Amino acid sequence: MIGVLLVLLLLPFLLYIAAPQIRKMLSSGVCTSTIQLPGKVAVVTGANTGIGKETAKELAQRGARVYLACRDVQKGELVAREIQIMTGNQQVLVRKLDLADTKSIRTFAKGFLAEEKHLHILINNAGVMMCPYSKTADGFEMHMGVNHLGHFLLTHLLLEKLKESTPSRVVNVSSLAHHLGRIHFHNLQGEKFYHAGLAYCHSKLANILFTQELARRLKGCGVTTYSVHPGTVDSELVRHSSLMRWIWWLFSFFIKTPQQGAQTSLYCALTEGLEVLSGNHFSDCRVAWVSAQARNETVARRLWDVSCDLLGIPVD
């Protein structure tokens, strides 16, 4: 009995001591590409915090002209200034983008296309997680609307510019949570039944299906696309869930930093020779296994058509 009590008392201390090694083990995968990006243009959504901020910072460090596409412009300006000071790159720009409003998405795209002649890297990073049931400005369930449909529309609007700038890449930030996701076409907006955690999973599955179908449609045109699982990262993504915030705090020693979480996005955006793996899913800078649902080409094609219909995009 005394031995058990002793172990329980010592366990927090032992975990604290072991935490650096455990974190290192859980955060394997580093983008080792040394490629520089002078003259290249990148857009990163949700770049005013977390993984997006670290991704944008690294792209700027390599000399790219980086657009921080975010809802909170004031916060974005502070981050842009921070990145400019840290990297010495003054070509870090902030533009408003609210993925919960298709008018905002179209306004962002229109402004960008008028401002830039090229787009080499599009990182669809922004997202919401475990929101109470709510809808976007266009009536879409918030997770599906922001995480999938918002980025679907943004990519569609910028696609010709990506094609004109080849070789170019699209990186969609998904999650391991996609394994619990399903695409319920009869309940895509969560009006018949809704669970905040599962709604997030469904949207992350949609990210992977979108990536695969986009890769199929773009094959041979010089634009490649990848989905990534960044890992369990200390970010603002869990802000809507008290439970998740508590769990993140409890296991904070083992959770990736935003810089570590950005590595796989950077790997897919920068690594040379990755074109042959277009459409694949990555985790810790290597190809990762996806669920059976995420490999269903029929569902991927139907989701594409349904997404086009919801967004008013002609179905080809």
What is the token pair recorded at 224? 């490649």
Per-residue model confidence as pLDDT tens for the chain (316 residues): 454 344 334 444 434 444 444 444 444 699 999 999 999 999 999 999 999 999 999 999 999 999 999 999 999 999 999 999 999 999 999 999 999 999 999 999 999 999 999 999 999 999 999 999 999 999 999 999 999 999 999 999 999 999 999 999 999 999 999 999 999 999 999 999 999 999 999 999 999 999 999 999 999 999 999 999 998 766 555 454 566 555 545 555 567 789 999 999 999 999 999 999 999 999 999 999 999 999 999 999 999 999 999 999 998 8
List active site positions.
200
Domain ranges in the chain are 35-311
What are residue 228's DSSP bridge partners?
173, 282
pTM for this prediction: 0.88
Domain spanning 35-311: CATH superfamily: NAD(P)-binding Rossmann-like Domain (3.40.50.720)
Q: Classify the phi-psi angles of 302: left when phi > 0, otherwise alpha if psi is within -120 to 50, otherwise beta.
A: alpha
The number of C-alpha atoms within 13 Å of 152 and in the hemisphere containing its C-beta is 29
Per-residue model confidence (pLDDT) at position 232: 72
Per-residue model confidence (pLDDT) at position 22: 45
Mark 47-62 as b/e (b = at least 16 C-beta within 10 Å): bbbbbbbbbbbbbbbb
Per-residue model confidence (pLDDT) at position 181: 98
Phi, psi of 291 (to 5 degrees): -70, 165
